[in-house]
Amino acid sequence: MRFLEWMCLVAIVLLVGPAVATPKGAAKTAGKKLTPKQILDYVDDLYRGESSYAKMSMKVVTEHWTREMRMEGWSEGKEKSMFRILAPKKEKGMATLKHGENIWNYLPKVKRVIKLPASMMGGSWMGSHLTNDDLVKESRMADDFDFENTFRGRRDGQEIIEITCIPKPKAAVVWGKVVLVVREGDYMPLKMLYYDEDLELARTMTFEDIKKLGGRTLPAVMKIVPADKPEELTEFRYEKVEFNIKLKKGLFSLRNLQR
């Protein structure tokens, strides 16, 4: 089911995101001193907007296969998102619609829409680089975690700020600890380290290729590497991003999904 989950992941993590969008936040950070909370909010909002459009490619490397696909997607608020696969040929036209808690997939080959069962959305996602939790995540770091600045200075030839986040006792978080590393000065995210409940490193997310996209400066590449399979990798690369755009009415409908 890895791919289905990927479809959902991309839809939600990258496109749906906007929890509480602060469109102005992005532009105003440079040169200001931010508190750890402000840094977390800043990183949370970096890819979020009232509405958005994105075109991206996703590369997945596993022990057995490597695949790359291109897709485009739209989001509105945190509730609705939709995206469509552009390439390769076998998956072209497959589409995913997320509306609140529900996810539907359209399969052009058989011309059917199927609703992803709840059992496939919750719990950990076997053998993959991400957990299902990532797919339905709509929360904000600053709300779910207790955090503190654990490092500030030079590391690996770069001035960085490290913030260590420990989940609040009642937060619905699967991780034992999350460490965020941002660049000093413009607070660009560099790395996120996810630790399991035994505080063993579970996966590393790195951000690369910082550039201007959709009027914002942000890392265009995200890489996720599971700690137990360092030779495996998932990489997202934004080709085009637009924030706070006007979207067609009825875009997030089952009818449009089958277009």
Which residues of the shown chain bind other proteins in the complex (CB under 8 A)? 1-4, 60, 62-67, 88, 90-91, 94, 105, 107, 109-110, 112, 114-117, 119-120
Report helix, strand or coil for 202: strand
CB nearer to other proteins: pick between 59 and 237: 59
- In the complex, the smallest distance separating the C-beta of residue 90 from other proteins, rounded to whole angstroms, is 5
Closest separation in Å from C-beta 77 to other proteins:
26
The residue among 4 and 13 lying less far from other proteins, judged by its C-beta, is 4
Cα distances (angstroms) measured from residue 7 to each of 86, 134, 189: 12, 12, 24
Pick between residue 177 and residue 223 the one whose CB is nearest to other proteins: 223
Per-residue H/E/C for 97-166: EEECCEEEEEECCCCEEEECCHHHHCCCCCCCCCCHHHHHCCCCHHHHEEEEEEEEEEECCEEEEEEEEE
Residue that the structure tokens 């696909």 belong to: 69
What's the min distance (Å) between Cβ of 183 and other proteins? 34
Query: Is residue 45 within 8 Å of residue 167, measured between CB atoms?
Result: no
> At closest approach, how far in Å is the CB of 66 from other proteins?
7
Distance of CA 174 to CAs 11, 13, 137, 170, Å? 20, 16, 11, 11
CA distance 226 to 224: 7
Q: Kindly give the residue spans of alpha helices, DSSP state H, lying in 99-237.
A: 118-121, 132-136, 141-144
Neighbours of 128 (CB within 10 A): 21
Give the residue with the Cβ less far from other proteins, 88 or 185. 88
Nearer to other proteins, 4 or 247 (CB): 4
Of 77 and 93, nearer to other proteins (C-beta) is: 93
Shortest Cβ 226–other proteins spacing (Å): 16
CB of 119 to other proteins, least distance (A): 7
